[in-house]
């Protein structure tokens, strides 16, 4: 790893938080409510320990790895040069496709919320072009951008959610009994699914300056992400009710469309959509950067930036081809993408780390 | 060369940022002088299609205007209305109310709700009302006067209707949510009343609340009486206050009922059957004025007032529940009340709620308190007693003790 492109552990965590905000807001509350009904607002309480366990496991697995070794290098070291590279290529292909999904998802949302008669291609192309330039740059530039944006994003989300409080009805949230625990656990799955996507950022861990002493396991980014998940589910469900919330593709946005901040400012949805797009852009740029990082390990080429343009082009193709219309795209968003995400982030990546650990390769 | 090309490109992009040409990237930018800010939308049946009208202004200083269009569906009619006939583009983002004509409401209001939900400019917190005894379009036109914009009249009623205890403006969100959860909902009705014009600048009609209507399967199926509407407001927690006359022998006491709290308790037997729903109403009222011979400082008179008050309000609740059971439509969401109170018992209860609900005994009890009479406790012209100065009153009181 180049010594100039180093970030702190905190910067990586901020980058993960900002990136995962976008899918978290996209899937909630509908995905959780679908399983847990009106008790979905409690699902985050079960998703958080599961997410923390996964983070703690990956942290333990990487504990003795050299500082400049990212997940792609660890896979090669742990699984062997052939199997490790196959694993890396699979991850790169999936993340290239996932990048396309993120771009298309952002475009579809813009059409559904602000530009009803617009076309997705222009939004996809602009997003990919902007992300392309950012991903071609340094990891620390992207992390710093996320670091600057984080307080703004957190403040806007907090103000938007708190402004929705007067519309929240207890009748939409209660009752919840012990019989709902199974449903609450099922509802935690989609939230955990998004949290688990932090695993992709392990490919950038080779850029992280390791602290001199090992710190205890603390995951403030995960707790903040869980707080957002809880807030979005609680306020949307409390405002719209179970069945209406499930029937809407962007239920959270429908709630935002109604709010008045302190009874003075109305129609703040443009601000919320803008920050939502910013998180999409950060996530997309990070994914393209990760893909380029993987190809760099696989091919041995020293300059990461050369892989960004082809990756962006392939992601663009995926964005156009993924689904013919918004209905088909919704199916991808609800079922196929989360399933593949679980496969990679919860099964394959931890498995690769475990094998390397058992073989004492790091 | 590369730098020069980049600078040229940046300048070219800057041209598109001005919003002054077809090149603009702000595809949905609209000049302020070209827009009509819509505050009220109406929808009526017209043949097999829909007639829609919008009412709004071009700005703060501009006089309000009304435009209408018809089409086979609300979407087509609104599409024409927004873009074609105005010379301006209608902006629906500040729409406060949607008035639906009785004929269309009896057919279905789903299309109207669907439009509010899907169209990105509209908000779910738009108040949705049904217009009785006429079309929504005619009501809006009749309300409009040069000094009394129809939208102000509707918004004013929306703000204050619950404070006079005559109804509640349900929003599209509340109606859609209730329809999704319970399959039914209540909706506020209004009507236009022709009255003598007290000043020339007002419209030909006056706006009056006309109770709640019951929505079942998306269409209005029944109207509630004023008493049933009051009872429904009390049970749904939408009640704020209401002035009412309490008849006493030889006098009438007008009170403002400013607090009405409802507690509901389901009663199950040993076999887990729901045997009764107990409703307890706690009321607080204040004296507004007294007509005739009544000494409101007299404990016995106050107790009589409280009994009368309780009777009226519990009667309203009983009427609302009775009508709901007769119609077999749980628009008061009593199932939700039982579910929140005893969720496990409801789940385990033998029989379906739909079968049990129409015959479920509902007991309504109440207690009213007359809290204050404001500054005048015992005016001599009402009680017939002679006025005494405070010192005399104090001395008498001390002697009495």
Report pLDDT digits (tens) over B250-307.
888 999 999 999 999 999 999 899 999 999 999 999 998 888 777 787 888 889 999 9
Cα gap B226→B159, rounded to integer Å: 19
What is the Cβ-side half-sphere exposure of residue A42, based on CA atoms within 13 angstroms? 16
Q: What is the SS3 assignment for A242? A: helix
Tell me: do B250 and B284 sit in the same domain. yes
Check: CB of residue A173 under 8 Å from CB of residue A41: yes
Answer yes or no: is B161 within a domain: yes
Helix A181-196 to helix A43-61 angle, to the nearest 10 degrees?
Answer: 40
Q: Is residue B230 part of a domain?
A: yes
Residues A305-328, mean pLDDT to the nearest whole number: 93
Judgement on whether residues B177 and B205 belong to the same structural domain of the protein: yes
B123 in contact with A, Cβ within 8 Å: yes
Strands ordered across the beta sheet of B242-248: B242-248, B251-268, B274-292, B362-372
Contacts of A236 in chain B (CB under 8 A): none
Do B214 and B278 fall within a single domain? Answer: no
**Rounded mean pLDDT, A135-150:** 93
> Does residue A311 have a pLDDT over 60?
yes
% of chain A with per-residue pLDDT over 70: 98
- Average pLDDT along chain B: 86
B168 and B105 within one domain: yes
Half-sphere exposure of A192 (CA within 13 A, CB side): 23
Q: Which two tokens stand for residue B125?
A: 């917190």
d(CA B213, CA B100): 12
Residue where a domain terminates, one of B194, B223, B252: B223
CA pair distance A191, A194, nearest whole angstrom: 5
Which segments of B161-267 does DSSP mark as H helices, in order?
172-182, 226-236
Boundary-marking domain end, from B162, B197, B223: B223
Q: Which of B195, B223, B251 is the last residue of a domain?
A: B223
Contact (Cβ atoms closer than 8 angstroms) between residue A37 and residue A240: no
Q: Give the A:B interface size as CB pairs under 8 Å.
A: 51
Is there a single domain that holds both residue B291 and residue B329?
yes
Burial of B272 (C-beta count, 10 Å sphere; 0-12/13-18/19+): middle
Task: Indicate whether B11 belongs to any domain.
Answer: no
Contact flag A257-B336 (C-beta cutoff 8 Å): no
| B7 in any annotated domain | no
pLDDT of amino acid B73: 92
B211 shares its domain with B243: no
Residue B171 DSSP symbol: B
Q: What span, in angstroms and rounded, lies between the C-alpha atoms of B338 and B359?
A: 15
Task: Give me the CATH number covering residue B322.
Answer: 3.30.300.210
Mapped onto helix, strand or coil, the DSSP state of residue B288 is strand
Is B176 close to A174, i.e. CB distance below 8 A? no
Name the pLDDT band for B132 (thresholds 50, 70, 90).
very high
- What tokens does B1 get? 């060369």
Q: What percent of chain B has pLDDT over 90?
A: 53
In a domain, B247, yes or no: yes
State the first-to-last Cα distance of chain B, in angstroms, to the nearest integer: 107
Mean pLDDT of chain A: 90
Same domain? B321 vs B236: yes
Question: Does residue B5 lie within any of the structural domains?
Answer: no
R_g (Cα) of chain B, nearest Å:
28
Number of domains in chain B: 2
B20 belongs to a structural domain: no
How many Cβ atoms from other residues are within 10 Å of residue A5's Cβ? 16
Residue whose token pair is 């070209």: B34
- Measured in angstroms, the CA of B125 and the nearest CA of chain A are apart by 6
**Which of A167, A175, A258 faces B343 most closely, judged by CB atoms?**
A175
Whether B71 and B175 map to the same domain: the answer is yes
ipTM, interface predicted TM-score of the complex? 0.84
Are B170 and B295 found together in one domain? no
Of B176, B40, B181, nearest to B100 by C-alpha is B40
B233: confidence class by pLDDT, cuts 50, 70, 90: very high
Are B125 and A258 in contact (CB < 8 Å)? yes
B361 touches chain A (CB under 8 A): no
Q: From the CA of B150, how many Å to the nearest CA of chain A? A: 22
Q: Quickly count: other Cβ atoms within 10 Å of residue A315's Cβ.
A: 29
CB B350: neighbour CB atoms within 10 A? 9
pLDDT digits (tens, 9 = 90+) for A93-135: 999 999 999 999 999 888 888 777 778 899 999 999 999 999 9
Distance CA B210, CA A32 (A): 41
Do residues B87 and B197 both lie within one domain? Answer: yes
The backbone region for A100, taken as left when phi is positive above 0, alpha when psi lies in -120 to 50, beta otherwise, is alpha
Measured over the CA atoms of residue B303, residue B306, residue B310 and residue B312, the dihedral's sign is: positive
Q: What residues of chain B, 50 to 109, have a C-beta less than 8 Å from chain A?
A: 93-94
What number of other Cβ atoms are within 10 A of residue B137's Cβ?
21
- Which two structure tokens, joined as six digits, stand for A288? 């393209």
Residue B47 shares a structural domain with residue B168:
yes
- CA triple A127-A132-A136, angle to 5 deg: 155
pLDDT band with cut points at 50, 70 and 90 for residue B247? confident
**Domains located in chain A, CATH noted:** 9-358 (1.20.1740.10)
- Reduced to 3 states, what is the DSSP secondary structure of residue A276? helix
Judged by CB atoms closer than 8 Å, whether chains meet at B180 and A243 is answered as: yes
Residue B193 sits in the same domain as residue B233: no
Measured between beta carbons, which residues in chain B are less than 8 angstroms from residue A242? 181
Question: Using 50, 70 and 90 to split pLDDT, how confident is the model at B191?
Answer: very high
Among A45, A39, A84, A49, CA closest to A175:
A39
Residues 6+ apart with CB under 8 A from B272: B345, B348, B349, B350
B110 Cβ under 8 Å from any chain A Cβ: no
Please check whether residue B22 lies inside any domain of the structure: no
Q: Which position has the higher pLDDT, A89 or B89?
A: A89
Record the pTM.
Answer: 0.87
Tokens of B255: 């009170």
DSSP for residue A97: H
Q: Where in the sequence is the domain holding B74, given as residue range(s)?
A: 32-223
Closest to B174 in 3D by CA, of A241, A198, A181, A182: A241
Check CB contact under 8 Å for A257 and B181. Answer: no
- Give the Cα separation of B41 and B60 in Å (integer): 19
Distance CA B356, CA B360 (A): 6
pLDDT, position B26: 55
Specify whether the CB–CB gap between B286 and B370 falls below 8 A.
yes
pLDDT tens-place string over residues B302-349: 899 999 999 999 999 999 999 999 999 999 999 999 999 999 999 999
Task: Give the model confidence (pLDDT) of B39-64 as tens digits.
Answer: 899 999 998 899 999 888 776 666 77
Q: What is the pLDDT of residues B348-366, one digit of tens each?
A: 998 899 999 999 999 999 9
Pairing of strands B205-216, B219-223: antiparallel
What are the chain A neighbours of B180 within 8 Å (beta carbons)? 241, 243-244, 247
A206-238 tens-digit pLDDT: 999 877 766 666 788 999 999 999 999 999 999
């Amino acid at each position: 790893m180049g010594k100039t492109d180093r970030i702190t552990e905190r910067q990586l965590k901020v980058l993960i938080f900002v990136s995962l905000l976008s899918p978290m807001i996209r899937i909630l509350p509908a995905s959780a409510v679908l399983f847990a009904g009106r008790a979905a607002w409690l699902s985050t309480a079960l998703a958080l320990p599961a997410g923390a366990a996964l983070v703690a496991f990956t942290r333990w697995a990487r504990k003795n790895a050299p500082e400049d070794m990212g997940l792609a290098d660890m896979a090669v070291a742990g699984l062997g040069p052939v199997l490790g590279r196959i694993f890396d290529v699979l991850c790169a292909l999936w993340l290239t496709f996932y990048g396309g999904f993120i771009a298309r998802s952002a475009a579809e949302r813009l059409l559904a919320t602000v530009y009803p008669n617009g076309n997705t291609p222009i939004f996809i192309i602009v997003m990919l072009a902007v992300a392309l330039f950012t991903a071609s740059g340094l990891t620390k530039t992207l992390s710093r951008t996320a670091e600057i944006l984080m307080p703004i994003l957190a403040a806007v989300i907090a103000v938007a959610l708190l402004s929705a409080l007067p519309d929240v009805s207890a009748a939409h949230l209660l009752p919840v009994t012990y019989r709902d625990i199974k449903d609450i656990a099922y509802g935690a799955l989609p939230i955990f699914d998004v949290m688990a996507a932090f695993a992709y950022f392990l490919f950038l861990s080779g850029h992280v300056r390791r602290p001199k002493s090992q710190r205890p396991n603390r995951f403030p980014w995960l707790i903040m992400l869980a707080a957002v998940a809880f807030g979005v589910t609680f306020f949307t469900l409390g405002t719209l009710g179970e069945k209406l919330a499930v029937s809407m593709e962007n239920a959270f946005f429908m709630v935002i469309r109604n709010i008045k901040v302190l009874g003075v400012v109305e129609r703040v949805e443009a601000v919320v959509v803008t920050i939502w797009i910013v998180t999409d852009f950060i996530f997309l740029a990070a994914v393209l950067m990760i893909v380029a990082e993987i190809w760099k390990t696989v091919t041995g080429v020293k300059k990461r930036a050369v892989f960004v343009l082809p990756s962006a082009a392939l992601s663009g193709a995926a964005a156009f081809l993924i689904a013919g219309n918004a209905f088909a795209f919704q199916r991808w968003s609800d079922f196929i993408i989360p399933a593949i995400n679980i496969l990679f982030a919860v099964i394959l990546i931890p498995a690769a780390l475990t094998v390397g650990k058992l073989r004492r390769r790091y | 060369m590369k730098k020069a090309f980049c600078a040229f490109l940046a300048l070219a992009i800057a041209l598109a940022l001005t919003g002054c040409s077809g090149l603009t990237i702000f595809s949905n930018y609209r000049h302020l002088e070209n827009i009509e800010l819509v505050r009220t939308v109406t929808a009526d049946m017209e043949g097999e299609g829909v007639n829609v009208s919008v009412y709004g202004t071009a700005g703060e200083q501009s006089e309000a205007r009304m435009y209408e269009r018809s089409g086979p569906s609300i979407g087509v009619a609104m599409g024409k209305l927004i873009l074609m006939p105005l010379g301006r583009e209608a902006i629906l983002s500040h729409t406060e109310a949607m008035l639906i004509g009785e004929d269309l409401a009896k057919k279905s209001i789903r299309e109207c709700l669907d439009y509010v939900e899907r169209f990105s400019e509209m908000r779910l917190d738009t108040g949705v009302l049904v217009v009785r005894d006429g079309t929504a379009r005619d009501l809006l036109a009749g309300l409009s006067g040069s000094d009394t914009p129809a939208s102000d009249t509707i918004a004013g009623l929306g703000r204050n209707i619950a404070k006079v205890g005559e109804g509640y403006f349900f929003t599209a969100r509340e109606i859609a949510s209730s329809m999704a959860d319970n399959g039914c909902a209540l909706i506020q009705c209004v009507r236009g009343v022709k009255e003598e014009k007290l000043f020339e600048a007002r419209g030909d009609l006056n706006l009056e609340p006309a109770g709640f209507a019951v929505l079942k399967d998306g269409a209005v199926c029944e109207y509630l009486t004023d008493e049933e509407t009051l009872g429904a407001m009390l049970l749904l927690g939408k009640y704020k206050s209401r002035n009412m006359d309490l008849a006493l022998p030889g006098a009438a006491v007008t009170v403002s009922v400013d607090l009405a709290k409802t507690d509901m308790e389901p009663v199950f037997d040993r076999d887990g059957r729901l045997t009764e729903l107990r409703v307890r109403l706690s009321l607080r009222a204040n004296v507004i004025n007294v007509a005739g011979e009544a000494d409101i400082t007299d404990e016995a008179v106050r107790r009589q007032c409280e009994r009368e008050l309780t009777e009226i309000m519990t009667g309203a609740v009983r009427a609302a529940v009775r009508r709901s059971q007769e119609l077999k439509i749980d628009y008061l969401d009593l199932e939700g009340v039982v579910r929140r109170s005893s969720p496990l018992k409801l789940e385990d209860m033998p029989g379906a709620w739909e079968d049990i609900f129409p015959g479920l005994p509902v007991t309504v009890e109440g207690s009213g308190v007359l809290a204050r009479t404001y500054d005048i406790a015992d005016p001599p012209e009402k009680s017939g007693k002679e006025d005494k100065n405070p010192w005399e009153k104090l001395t008498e009181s001390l002697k009495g003790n």
